[in-house]
Amino acid sequence: MNLIVAVDQNWAIGNKDNLLVRIPNDHKMFQQETTGKVVILGRKTMETFPGKQPLKNRTNIILSRKPDYQVKGAVVVHSIEELLKECEKYEGKDLYVIGGESIYRQLLPYCDTAHVTKIDMSYAADAYCPDLDKDEDWEITADSEEQVYFDITYHFVKYERKQDHEA
């Protein structure tokens, strides 16, 4: 399972139900990475989408504690167990956890790859992703050249969960 996220210097991801900043190349990378795949998200994240509609050309799986929550064109599950059962229908490499904060925290143990857009700024925020730089289970395996959008610099960084080398 993959995690995909854009974070600031403090691993913040959002403020007041909005992204911290919109960077066209980040959105393009997200679209290229997830189109034709399965995205896993929480109800609150779904409700920030245009028209509160699922992302096109992807299978959308929404994790919500609300028992009667439904979204046309999406699969809604109500527990991690139910989510993992649903995910068995797909290849792990095609699963992308896309937020928000509680979904990242709950599903990080099931992820082995993280695609992180690291923005070299600090924003006012109320939502965060777990800091993979402080997690000894993760290592950087790829880092792009510095990217610039107006006055914002950022990098596309790939993290992978360290494999146990004990045979």
The pTM (predicted TM-score) of the whole model is: 0.95
Residue 60 CA neighbour count, 13 Å, CB half? 22
10 Å CB burial of residue 16 (0-12, 13-18, 19+) is exposed
How is domain 2-161 classified at the architecture level of CATH? 3-Layer(aba) Sandwich (3.40)
pLDDT in tens, 103-142: 999 999 999 999 999 999 999 999 999 999 999 999 999 9
Contacts of 65 by beta carbon, 8 Å cutoff, 6+ apart: 43, 78
At position 94, the amino acid (one-letter code) is: D
Task: Tell me how far apart the alpha carbons of residues 149 and 120 are, in angstroms, rounded to a whole number.
Answer: 11
User: How many residues can be counted in the chain?
Assistant: 167
pLDDT for position 163: 84
Task: Tell me how far apart the alpha carbons of residues 131 and 57 are, in angstroms, rounded to a whole number.
Answer: 30
